[in-house]
Structure 1
Amino acid sequence: IRGMIQAISIETGISVLAVVGDGMAGTPGIAARLFEHLARGQVNVRAIAQGASERNISVAIATPDATRALRVVHAGFYLSAQTISIGIIGPGHVGAALIDQIAAMQQRLQQCGLDLRVRAIAGSSKCLRASQRLDLGAWRENYAALPTVATSDLDGFASHVHAEHLPHALIVDCSASSLVADHYADWLDAGIHIITPNKNAGSGPLARYQAIRGASANGAARFRYEATVGAGLPVISTLRDLIDTGDAIVSIEGMFSGTLAFLFNRFDGSQRFSELVREAIQLGYTEPDPRDDLDGRDVARKLVILAREQGLAMDLAAVAVVSLVPESLRGGSAAAFLQNLAAMDAPMQALLDQAQAENRVLRFVARLNAQAEASVGLLALPRDHPFAHTRLTDNVVQFTTRRYASNPLVVQGPGAGPEVTAAGVFADLLRVAAHLGAKL
């Protein structure tokens, strides 16, 4: 056999995983299914052997991957639950609502063979961890009892979530931090799935966005961000479906802020504008600093996300934004702004009076066309306009395309509040679980 085989080498630290079963013989696709699930679990196969009886497939893998590989294969062939190690960043309004929704659904999901194992919850100065799983019924008390630290160790957090003994790792970023988004590409490269309502990743520096999308496209880890634009509404997935089926986007118009929708659906002259802003704050519809809603930048970020989804290389600076916040109130603290909020009443009332005199309504609208011309600002719309009939915190997005030219496609529904945003994040989480093989 001289010359028929290559040089023989010896490698250490190798384990053999064997899949054995009488049902394998003559059944197409068993080997493909095995290797598909090993790949999704980020397990590299070093060598392969299959018995002539077709009742055994053996793979050589690195010993540190052995436990994860065994769990991945068991879950892939439904011999055990599909387990996902989860870390949640940002236990604020949306993050807390998501944790509560996962806790409420755990028993039902386990009946479907899905084990969502929340093992870490991190804020800017605290991190709650568990080797197996956190008690989601007492996470608030346990998190509050933790001492604060100067900065959060995001690398340590990710390493904990990406445990070798668990088949899949997933991080949910419910923060609004650009620093967290800086880690996305590295986490995806490491095989950690990412789900987020954080708009910074999709609207921040273009180079970072391209690195994130590249890491997601080149590896096995998924990047899901539906909730960045429409909370729980299927805005990004609708746009993606239009593009993937060959439609051409002519323009996108929308009311992308549930906060501003609430304000202008209610602003009819019966209450001062400042009173409505305070009401929105009490209902939890606004950011901690309401200027983050009123200045239109949050809406502009969503428009940039939709532009990039179409392949347009757009930055925030390209969006023409007309802020509602007077120049005199743009500086200083949030507390100082709230003390002087009444300064907005007169100019806002003047705009309302003019709109009503023309039989129009005020709506805060974002617009984007195929030439990458983008604008965000307050418009006086005719009363028969689709945006004139929204309710409460409704977001509404109108897609004008080659197919939907004379009658644009409209997506509409609640666009503010932690519960609906968390539900959108949860839906993305379940989509990743289904991709990994969960039978939902």
Structure 2
Amino acid sequence: MTKDIKVAIIGVGGVGKAFIGQLANFIKKNSSTVSVSAVYIARSTAALISKDFSPLPLTAFASEELDAAGTAPLSVPDLIQFLKESGSETILIDNTSSIELANTYPDFLKAGINIATPNKKGFSSEEKLWNDIFAAAGNNGGGGGYVFHEATVGAGLPVISTIKDLVDTGDEVTKVEGVFSGTMSFLFNEFAPISSNGPVRAFSDVVKIAKDAGYTEPDPRDDLNGLDVARKLTILARLCGLDIDSPTSFPVQSLIPKPLESASTSQEFMEGLPNFDSDIGLLAENAQKEGKVIRFVGSIDVLSKAVKVGLEKFDISHPIAGLKGSDNIIAFYTKRYGDRALIVQGAGAGAEVTAMGVLSDVIKIINRIK
């Protein structure tokens, strides 16, 4: 018997477009065993709605195409009711970074609607939301929909699933450490490469290179403040069983010079950044004299319940020092693995690999639907 699945896709930016393309290929290859139909595709200002629940064409929708559709997005209560009226199993795909939408996850789950998302906000904000989501979800045998969020940490890398497997099988995770941001990985691999013995580059020049190449957010302060890494650490720490109130409840080192925190625009920030190159440059020079490099990392010491994000020095032989490009590396230290960490490494950013992580969650949900 062919499974009948209806999906609602919210967010058609880079990740959303990549997801739609990958979902179309999945549907084509698996049409004999599962019927997956997109019946709602939306961005913040417009939506395509299949009122008779027939499949919407899965093309790489541009924002302009959705705006031209001329239909306002449904409110959350109306979207929940619409999906319930389909008479099928349903999945919400949230490809946004909206905390407002994440706050409604418990409502979707209680209604039996499954969720797959790369949105970190729902799992890294106040601990109450985390608890409400999983209290409503069916992941642990409850009556609600399933929720999976592999791509909230490491994009398509198997980070969430790895730590869950470790914990669920009874292993004791003692420490998690790594480079969790593709942006920060690129910045420091360029700024302090292990092969360099010459003068340290100007950090502002490297930030400009990363910004021009599209590695940073439009305002690089959104990367340099460390909050993105803190959100990922919050998720992993909670999966390890730690009670973390929020991403601001533990030490997070910001690389934004204090006088530039109030810069009114990204351009003003970039223009002022060269004035502070000497501060971080001195750190890199001192590390170089010790035969080390600096990297922006996050760590969780489960035994002492200590979580922190910031710059650390590493010997050039350390796996974290030897990263290339925008790769992520996450090391899991556990009782079973002993002194030799279990390491997950690879591309931890990018639309295609993030979309792959979301699609893998969709497949997990489909496989669990009876």
TM-score (norm 2): 0.90
Contact 2:102–2:122 under 8 Å retained in 1: yes
Report the Cα offset of residue 345 of structure 1.
3.0
Matching residue's letter, 1:264: F
Query: Where does residue 68 of structure 2 map in the other structure?
Result: 145
1:161-184, Cα deviation, whole Å (9 max, x unpaired): x14334211101111111111100
Q: Give secondary structure in 2 for the equivalent of 1:319.
A: coil
Given the alignment, which residue of 319, 328, 336 partners 1:386?
319
Q: Give secondary structure in 2 for the equivalent of 1:320.
A: coil
Q: Give secondary structure in 1 for the equivalent of 2:320.
A: helix
Given the alignment, which residue of 119, 134, 147 partners 1:198?
119
CA separation in 1, counterparts of 2:291 and 2:152?
Answer: 34
Please show how residues 279-294 of structure 1 align to structure 2 within 5 Å.
Answer: 279-294=209-224
Contact 1:290–1:334 under 8 Å retained in 2: yes
Given the alignment, which residue of 294, 301, 307 partners 2:231?
301
- What percentage of aligned pairs have identical amino acids? 40
Q: Evaluate the alpha carbon distance shift between residue 336 and residue 224 of structure 1 in structure 2; reply closer, same or farther with a 3 A threshold.
A: same
Contact 2:47–2:70 under 8 Å retained in 1: no
Q: Evaluate the alpha carbon distance shift between residue 239 and residue 418 of structure 1 in structure 2; reply closer, same or farther with a 3 A threshold.
A: same
- Determine if the alignment matches structure 1 residue 430 to structure 2 residue 352: no
1:337-371, Cα deviation, whole Å (9 max, x unpaired): 23434344332322222221211112111111122
Contact 2:6–2:89 under 8 Å retained in 1: yes
Report the Cα offset of residue 146 of structure 1.
4.0
Query: Where does residue 273 of structure 1 map in the other structure?
Result: 203
Given the alignment, which residue of 41, 66, 72 partners 1:121?
41
- Greater RCO (Cα-Cα under 8 Å, separation 6 or more): 2
Of 417-426 and 332-341, more deviation after overlay is shown by 332-341
Q: Evaluate the alpha carbon distance shift between residue 159 and residue 346 of structure 1 in structure 2; reply closer, same or farther with a 3 A threshold.
A: farther
Given the alignment, which residue of 208, 221, 228 partners 2:129?
208
Unaligned 5+ segments in structure 1 are: 1-77
Report the Cα offset of residue 277 of structure 1.
2.3
Contact 1:314–1:372 under 8 Å retained in 2: no
Contact 2:47–2:67 under 8 Å retained in 1: no
Given the alignment, which residue of 266, 281, 300 partners 1:368?
300
Query: Where does residue 103 of structure 1 map in the other structure?
Result: 24
- Determine if the alignment matches structure 1 residue 249 to structure 2 residue 170: no
Query: Where does residue 148 of structure 2 map in the other structure?
Result: 224
Contact 1:226–1:235 under 8 Å retained in 2: yes
Task: Let me know the Cα RMSD of the aligned residues.
Answer: 2.0
1:191-249, Cα deviation, whole Å (9 max, x unpaired): 00011111111111111110101001422411101111111111111111111111111
CA separation in 2, counterparts of 1:128 and 1:231?
Answer: 27
Report the Cα offset of residue 293 of structure 1.
1.1
Contact 2:12–2:61 under 8 Å retained in 1: no
Q: Evaluate the alpha carbon distance shift between residue 333 and residue 105 of structure 1 in structure 2; reply closer, same or farther with a 3 A threshold.
A: same
CA separation in 1, counterparts of 2:209 and 2:359?
Answer: 28
Report the Cα offset of residue 138 of structure 1.
6.1
Contact 1:262–1:391 under 8 Å retained in 2: yes
Query: Where does residue 154 of structure 1 map in the other structure?
Result: 76
1:277-318, Cα deviation, whole Å (9 max, x unpaired): 233334433223221211111101111101111221112232
Query: Where does residue 400 of structure 1 map in the other structure?
Result: 333
Matching residue's letter, 2:348: G
Aligned residues: 355
Q: Give secondary structure in 2 for the equivalent of 1:107.
A: helix
**Larger Rg over CA atoms:** 1
Please show how residues 22-171 of structure 1 align to structure 2 within 5 Å.
Answer: 78=1, 81-111=2-32, 113-131=33-51, 132-137=54-59, 139-140=61-62, 142-147=65-70, 153-160=75-82, 162-171=83-92
Q: Give secondary structure in 2 for the equivalent of 1:300.
A: helix
Q: Evaluate the alpha carbon distance shift between residue 126 and residue 336 of structure 1 in structure 2; reply closer, same or farther with a 3 A threshold.
A: farther
CA separation in 2, counterparts of 1:270 and 1:128?
Answer: 52
